[in-house]
């Protein structure tokens, strides 16, 4: 048996990309009132330590905390790390801490980062240039291929091990592709799916500098197939981009959406203060 045919080693860490979990909670105010003053003080301290990584525990590679608008949740977490139990450890510490009896998990999604099937490789991009009539020996051709290769590496890194932007408004929603008769995404030829996703991507590009996104895959991991996280410089841009992209055929005909959560980036102390539980600025 050659090394290429050997089975992969047992591991919880992906060979490419990171685990991702979105978690949403609300405070049970009645349970909070039942806590003693000391328990409430301890609860606030442990809440801050867990989310600010002051308790000596390993912190996920990426962790954002959000104040969530509406009744679906009081706050939310966006976490990414190579190891799934590092992420889940944050949830377990919250639930086992002094505030555990007063915390109600309301929704979650488990997913992973991935590269899109619809982003051309360098070789595919070069073939398209040649098909457009550019001579492979020309400086224009070689310059465009090199430039695309650099962009692709940046895109690959941002998709697999993303930095989370520090933009104030955040929206998260899960989605799946339809498998209905006559509207089955997974029975479409690749070329047609690629065309539809290209159209979808062009709509999103119109919001460059206003909105940025992270799409993670939940297939085989959760009920929904993808999770979409949008960060915006202003909440109105979230409304605008989602409305605009609903008209794309990939969404209008083939997409099904789950619950939407909208939140605003806030430190753990700000969450406690906003929810009337104390905390710090």
- The pLDDT score that the predictor gives to residue 53 is 64
Domain-embedded: residue 158: no
- The pLDDT score that the predictor gives to residue 207 is 94
The mean pLDDT value of the chain amounts to: 90
Say which CATH number the domain at 23 has: 3.30.70.1030
Provide the number of structural domains found in the chain: 1
Whether 173 is catalytic: yes
Task: Specify whether the CB–CB gap between 224 and 218 falls below 8 A.
Answer: yes
Query: H-helix or E-strand containing 42?
Result: helix 37-52
Domain-embedded: residue 152: no
Q: Which residue has the higher pLDDT, 229 or 147?
A: 229
Domain-embedded: residue 170: no
Domain-embedded: residue 225: no
- The pLDDT score that the predictor gives to residue 166 is 95
Domain-embedded: residue 104: yes
- The pLDDT score that the predictor gives to residue 129 is 74
Give the residue numbers spanning the domain of 63: 19-113+266-274
Task: Specify whether the CB–CB gap between 262 and 170 falls below 8 A.
Answer: yes
Q: For residue 263, give the nearest of 183, 200, 133, 173 by alpha carbon.
A: 173
Domain-embedded: residue 51: yes
Catalytic residue, candidates 173, 243, 254, 264: 173
Alpha helices per DSSP H over 112-260: 122-131, 139-160, 190-205, 235-245, 249-252
* pTM of the model as a whole: 0.89
Task: Specify whether the CB–CB gap between 38 and 111 falls below 8 A.
Answer: no
pLDDT in tens, 248-264: 999 999 999 999 999 99
Q: How confident is the model at residue 1 (pLDDT cuts 50, 70, 90)?
A: very low
């Amino acid at each position: 048996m050659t090394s290429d045919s050997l089975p992969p080693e047992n591991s919880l860490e992906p060979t490419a990309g990171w685990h991702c979990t979105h978690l949403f909670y609300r405070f049970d105010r009645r349970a909070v009132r039942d806590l003693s003053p000391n328990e409430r003080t301890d609860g606030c301290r442990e809440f801050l330590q867990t989310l600010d990584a002051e308790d000596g525990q390993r912190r996920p590679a990426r962790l954002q905390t959000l104040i969530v608008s509406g009744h679906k949740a009081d706050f939310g977490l966006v976490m990414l790390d190579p190891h799934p139990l590092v992420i889940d450890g944050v949830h377990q510490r919250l639930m086992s801490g002094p505030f555990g009896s007063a915390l109600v998990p309301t929704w979650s999604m488990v997913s992973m980062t991935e590269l899109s099937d619809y982003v051309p490789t360098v070789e595919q991009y070069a073939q398209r240039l040649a098909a457009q009539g550019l001579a492979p020996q020309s400086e224009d051709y070689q310059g465009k291929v090199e430039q695309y290769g650099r962009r692709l590496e940046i895109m690959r890194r941002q998709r697999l091990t993303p930095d989370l932007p520090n933009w104030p408004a955040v929206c998260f929603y899960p989605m799946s592709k339809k498998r209905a008769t006559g509207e089955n995404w997974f029975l479409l030829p690749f070329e047609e799916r690629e065309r539809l996703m290209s159209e979808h991507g062009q709509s999103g590009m119109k919001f460059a500098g206003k909105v940025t996104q992270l799409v993670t895959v939940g297939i085989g991991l959760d009920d929904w197939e993808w999770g979409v996280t949008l960060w915006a410089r202003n909440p109105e841009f979230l409304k605008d981009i989602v409305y605009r992209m609903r008209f794309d055929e990939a969404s209008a005909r083939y997409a099904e959406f789950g619950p939407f959560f909208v939140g605003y980036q806030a430190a753990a102390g700000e969450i406690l203060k906003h929810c009337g539980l104390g905390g710090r600025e």
